[in-house]
Amino acid sequence: MSAEEKYPLLIGHSLAGRTRLHNIEEVANFICVHGQYSDLAITQKDGTPFLDTFGIYINKIADMEYREELLKVLIPMQMEIDGTNRIEEENDEKEKTDMNEYERLRRLAQQHRETYPPGTRLELIDMNDPYAPVPSGTRGTVKFIDDMAQINMEWDNGRTLPLNSDEDSFRKLTEEELAEEQNDGMDEDNAPVMGM
């Protein structure tokens, strides 16, 4: 005999009066409709207490097998009323968004590692940092790419702020510019020292 067959008629007691309940769906509906206004009691047809609620939630119940069957119907209805289904949907959506963002950053970091290996020379065009950006036109050397796809730099002016390719603009130095930098460095190193 199923849990529902053991109790072919239950009586719901609410502020609206007594209600005859013939199945689990009617019991769940009774709890969700009337439990929003007060605590409820449900008895067997002879008046024996069967279930009582704290609002729309079960407080005590006489038959645990019946409770398991009732919860299958009741919980989705409760979630609709108290908004937890929307929270779950939002959390699922956020998790999907987070996973998509994580995957995007992972791919972007891999792309940056291939395009800007350590030692690559870059010139900053513009840094989107409202507090203390590295000045435009500053050159620097790539140190490494982190897992958030930020290009960690050692700027020629001593700063170490990373580049964010989603917000900052920059460019790789050309071969000519790299050769020019090397020549400038050699001229300084190899310049004769004037003595007195």
Number of domains in the chain: 2
Specify if 189 maps to a domain.
no
Specify if 131 maps to a domain.
yes
Residue 160: give the domain boundaries: 106-174
Specify if 188 maps to a domain.
no
| Torsions phi, psi for 104 (to 5 deg) | -60, -45
- CATH number of the structural domain spanning residue 126: 2.30.30.30
Specify if 30 maps to a domain.
yes
- Over residues 87-110, the mean pLDDT reads 77
Specify if 168 maps to a domain.
yes
CA–CA dist 185, 16 (Å, integer): 91
Specify if 37 maps to a domain.
yes
**pLDDT at position 194:** 46
Specify if 194 maps to a domain.
no
104-149 tens-digit pLDDT: 888 899 999 999 999 999 999 999 888 888 999 999 999 999 999 9
